[in-house]
Amino acid sequence: MYGKLSESDLAQLQKQAQQQPQRLKFLIQQANALPIMPHALHTPENEVHGCEAQVWLVAKWREGLLELQLDSASRVVKGLLALIYQALNGATSAQVAAFELDALLVALGLDDMVSTSRRNGLRAVVTAIQSSRD
């Protein structure tokens, strides 16, 4: 349900999210930890439509594991993408298929701060990742 995140990984993220005086600051910190996607990959083919902010995604499978590259023009969206990255980069096909975005947001206490339109955009990202499977 949480991709490749173990219960201890999830507990650590929960602790970080709850320790921050502002959950927005937590998301910005997550955005800063997301590996940099080369600007050359910011192409129309890699853009995920349905998102409020521009989002780019490259999903490749190597030896049965997912390799992700994600980026957004928005810091908050980029922070949310970083959480998806942590859950799914290096995940197996079964972990990717079982991943539930809403469950992750609830578990991290971020559910109430993600608007419906932003959530729909993130769902579009997850759907694109899940449909990239071998």
How does pLDDT run along the chain (134 residues), one tens digit per residue? 678 788 888 788 877 777 656 778 888 999 999 999 999 999 999 999 887 789 999 999 999 999 999 999 999 999 999 999 999 999 999 999 999 999 999 988 888 888 888 899 999 999 999 999 75
- The verdict on residue 1 lying in a domain is no
Residue 79 sits in a domain of what CATH number?
A: 3.90.1010.10
Whether 24 maps to a domain, the answer reads yes
Distance CA 118, CA 89 (A): 21
Q: What is the pLDDT of residue 5?
A: 81
What's the pLDDT at 15? Answer: 77
- So what's the pLDDT on residue 3? 80
Cα 82 from Cα 69, distance rounded (Å): 10
Give the residue numbers spanning the domain of 63.
7-130
The predicted pLDDT at position 8 comes to 85
The pLDDT of residue 113 is 81
Dihedral sign of CA atoms 18, 19, 25, 26 in order: negative
Q: Which of 51, 68, 105, 126 is catalytic?
A: 51
Q: Give the total number of structural domains in the chain.
A: 1
* Helices (H), ranges, the chain: 7-19, 23-33, 75-88, 93-98, 101-107, 116-130
What the block records as the tokens of 48 is: 């995920």
pLDDT of residue 9: 83
Look up 59 and say whether it is catalytic: no
Quote the pLDDT of residue 111: 86
pTM of the model: 0.85
pLDDT of residue 112: 82
